[in-house]
Amino acid sequence: MTPASTKPKIVIIGAGFGGLEAARALRKTDADITVIDRHNHHTFQPLLYQVATAVISPADIAWPVRSILRKQENAGVMLGAIKSIDTKARVVRADTIELPYDYLVIATGVTHSYFGHDDWQNAAPGLKTLTDATKIRSRVLLSFERAELAQNEADRKRLLTFVIVGGGPTGVEMAGAIAEIARQTLRFDFRNIDPRAARILLIEAGPRILPSFPEDLSAYADKSLRRMGVEVMTSTMVTDVRRDGVSLGERKIESEAVVWAAGVKASDAALWLGAEADRAGRIKVNDDLSVPGHPEIFAVGDTAALATTIPGIAPAAKQMGKYAGRLITARIAGKASPARFVYKHAGDLATIGRKSAVVKLNKLKLTGFIGWLFWSVAHIYFLIGIRNRLMVAMTWLWSYVTYQRGARLITRDDRPG
């Protein structure tokens, strides 16, 4: 960015699916674009559960934001966390720098929500960042290691119990993957315990898992998980989470490996702006994604709440990012703005195990191996960069053939107490 530049300044906060798509849509615009993110990398969140379950490495689903935008000459990248936004002076304040803007796109995504029980966080990590994923990976693998050393049956039983809270796609994927680790990957690796004896519980507050899917696909996933030995508990509320287990009302389940896949809340973007937010903390935006009273500020992806509910998935964030980028392009060029944002739902996907998935695309429904193939190809396709595609494809093939997992690393000392 030339200091004396008179070009319009566009700041994009967040290098997730929404932010990057906005930057891409602005690639031909005569402007100075800055993408700022807390991390130096874009994370391909749909495959985070595979890092958490030791299939692939963090670097396989992460890509430096600088590399992605290297060839886009009107865009620069900065590493930093946002402290505040001065909407009057039109300045974003990060930890070490200030960024003036003419247009601002906020694409800061979500974090976990513990429904007011923030103290549950340490006991039940969620799955939104690579750090979360390696933490869960360590905790799951460490449970088996500690069970092998356990001196009594009660300890062994507790250490071989895995609880996943939340029956959406992430919960279903985690439950299926942990079942496979216990029943297949680790099957011959221990001498004092039989990993196949592990209990895996998937707890969902609503009446069925995968509530966003058609009922027959939910039922299919439920049946598949049960066949893999997962105890699926629907209409069950978690009332307490501690480091040694969860409470379901009166009932207590002892476990030291609890994974939170139950709820999310938006980032602090609404607070930065002093904007009105919905219950999940998302900014209530106009139908062109602009923030009321601020035609120069846009919220996209999980940061935005529209009149109609839009699912918190990658394609939705991308569509919104693209729309905001195009709208700013039109505005700068003095052309008419595009019509209001309309979300097009492409479909829903969730894997259940190493050769099964449920897929819903318009009228098409796929299950089992065909669903899994579709899911695999779709996810490989959307990974950024030929290297990552190749590596993940090869790793999956290898895992599929050998039942092994190539990233069984315990990298943090995560013992309780």
Asked if 174 and 126 touch (Cβ cutoff 8 Å), the reply is no
Residues 145-164 that bind a second copy (CB under 8 A): 145-146, 148-149, 151
The CB-of-233 to a second copy minimum distance in angstroms stands at: 30
* Residue 119 binding a second copy, by CB under 8 A: no
Of 10, 19, 21, 60, which lies in the binding site for a second copy, with binding defined by CB under 8 A? 60
The CB-of-242 to a second copy minimum distance in angstroms stands at: 21
The CB-of-316 to a second copy minimum distance in angstroms stands at: 26
Instruction: Give the per-residue contact string, 68-107, with a second copy (x = CB under 8 A; - = no).
Output: --x-----xxxxx---------------xx----------
- Helices 17-25 and 314-333 cross at an angle (nearest 10°) of 30
Residues 188-247 that bind a second copy (CB under 8 A): 188-192
Residues 293-322 that bind a second copy (CB under 8 A): none
Of 62, 92, 241, 273, which lies in the binding site for a second copy, with binding defined by CB under 8 A? 62
Of 8, 64, 206, 263, which lies in the binding site for a second copy, with binding defined by CB under 8 A? 64
Q: Which is nearer to a second copy, 56 or 289 (CB)?
A: 56
Task: Dig out the tokens for 215 from the structure.
Answer: 């009922």
Q: Which is nearer to a second copy, 79 or 205 (CB)?
A: 79
Of 7, 59, 121, 284, which lies in the binding site for a second copy, with binding defined by CB under 8 A? 59
Q: Report, as residue numbers or ranges, the catalytic residues.
A: 173
* Residue 409 binding a second copy, by CB under 8 A: yes
* Residue 4 binding a second copy, by CB under 8 A: no
Distance of CA 58 to the CA centre of its chain: 13
Give me the residues that bind a second copy (CB under 8 A), please: 1, 39-41, 57-60, 62, 64, 66-67, 70, 76-80, 96-97, 130-131, 134, 141-142, 145-146, 148-149, 151, 186, 188-192, 387-388, 390-391, 394-395, 398, 402, 404, 406-411
